[in-house]
Amino acid sequence: MNSVFGVVIVFTVMCIGFFLLGHCFCVLFQKKEDAVTKFLLGAVLFLAVFSAIELPVEKLNLPFHVLVIVECIVFVLLFGACVVYCVRNGELEAVKRWTMPDYMTLVLLVLIALQVLYGMNNGIRINGYDTSYYNGYAINALYTDTMYQYSARSGEYIGIEGYVHDGYPMLIAFLSRIFFMHPLVMANRVLACLEIVLMNLVVYEIACRLSNGNRKIADWTVAIHAVMSIFCYQFEEGRGFYLWQRTAESKSMLANVYLPLTLLAMILLAKGAESLYHWLILGLTALVGVSLSISGIFILTAMIGSGVLGILIYQRRGKYLLNAVLCMIPSMVVGIIRLFL
């Protein structure tokens, strides 16, 4: 599965899984969302479920294969339930009624495809200290059947890791195991492509929501963002820098996926704070960002805290303050465990 063909297969399977999860999530809450939103919600759900299982398995110092088994059981049941529901309710009939995408959709797909090609052929990448951290722990998990017990850089046995870390290396290792793929290929090809796709779809959806559904404005926003990202990648600590030069790290996912997803969740919340659906999206996004990126513990907490407080004060909806606290409790618990346990 380490070939180009294998990468395409794994990427396609994951995309289908994301869309299936997102579609069933929207149906559960009786929400009619477009395909982009369903795909993004599915990605958030997938990562949230993985994170909720990975943390306790890791903290109990269980072998890596236990994580793989538990994750597989949960995801098989979850995807199986989604498929059964779609078959019983005739949801798959939409596949038979598939029509050629319209002009605006094709433009968006071309823009994303060009960035994927650029990303996969971009030779200017930093292979540095942090990159070796993620790759090393993922490889150690696969070949030693442990989680964070061997140094990512030297291979030395260290027992219980004292350094604060996140769950992203285990995500790489888990996906590598179930798809029979080398972790370097998984991180630098499959997950890199997914990051580029998710980033563009989040930018598209944010622009679409802010422009009241104007897809032309959304496409132009994606195009302008892509050009700025490519031409600004040499500026350190910028989103383009992390996207094109540090793709294998969780910081890249935080800067280009988790933070924009959080902004999208707050935009949805500003337009409908009375809906449990919007609060749940914000809570799941926060959980993913905190679980899979140590930097997210601080950045996302500050971003969501100030953003939600501003929304509630501006709209004079103080009665939803309890909702804000409840939706942040899971991510706050995860952050405390990551930092102090």
pLDDT of 126 above 80: no
Of the candidates 237, 188, 260, the residue with the CA atom closest to the CA atom of residue 43: 260
Q: Given this model, what pLDDT does residue 97 score? A: 63
Q: Given this model, what pLDDT does residue 95 score? A: 54
Residues 237, 252: Cα–Cα separation, whole Å: 10
pLDDT of 127 above 80: no
Q: What is the pLDDT of residues 243-282, one digit of tens each?
A: 888 887 888 999 999 999 999 999 999 988 899 999 999 9
pLDDT of 96 above 60: no
Q: Given this model, what pLDDT does residue 151 score? A: 87
Q: For residues 314-320, give the mean pLDDT.
A: 86
Residues 166, 146: Cα–Cα separation, whole Å: 15
Of the candidates 256, 244, 268, 270, the residue with the CA atom closest to the CA atom of residue 203: 256
**Helix, strand, coil abundance in the chain, percent, nearest 5:** 75, 0, 25
Residues 176, 66: Cα–Cα separation, whole Å: 15
β-bridge partners, 150: 157
Residue 157 phi, psi (nearest 5): -70, 125
Q: Given this model, what pLDDT does residue 341 score? A: 80
Q: Given this model, what pLDDT does residue 109 score? A: 93
Q: Given this model, what pLDDT does residue 94 score? A: 60
Q: Given this model, what pLDDT does residue 123 score? A: 60
Please tell me whether the overall predicted TM-score, pTM, comes out greater than 0.85 for this model.
yes
Residue 158 Cα distances to 93, 126, 147, 153, 186, angstroms: 54, 27, 11, 12, 26
Q: For residues 48-66, give the mean pLDDT.
A: 95
Q: Given this model, what pLDDT does residue 241 score? A: 84
Of the candidates 132, 262, 243, 142, the residue with the CA atom closest to the CA atom of residue 193: 243
pLDDT of 325 above 60: yes
3-state DSSP assignment of residue 234: coil
* Residue written as token pair 């038979």: 96
pLDDT of 78 above 70: yes
> Considering only 41-55, 65-79, 84-98, 153-167, which range has the smallest mean pLDDT?
84-98
pLDDT of 25 above 60: yes
pLDDT of 111 above 80: yes
Q: Given this model, what pLDDT does residue 92 score? A: 65
Gyration radius from the chain CA atoms: 20
Q: Given this model, what pLDDT does residue 85 score? A: 86
Percentage of residues in the chain with pLDDT exceeding 90? 65
Residues 200, 192: Cα–Cα separation, whole Å: 13
Q: What is the pLDDT of residues 153-192, one digit of tens each?
A: 888 888 877 677 899 999 999 999 999 999 999 999 999 9
Percentage of residues in the chain with pLDDT exceeding 70? 95
Q: What is the pLDDT of residues 182-239, one digit of tens each?
A: 999 999 999 999 999 999 999 999 999 999 999 999 999 999 999 998 888 777 777 8
pLDDT, the chain, mean: 90
Q: For residues 121-142, give the mean pLDDT.
A: 80
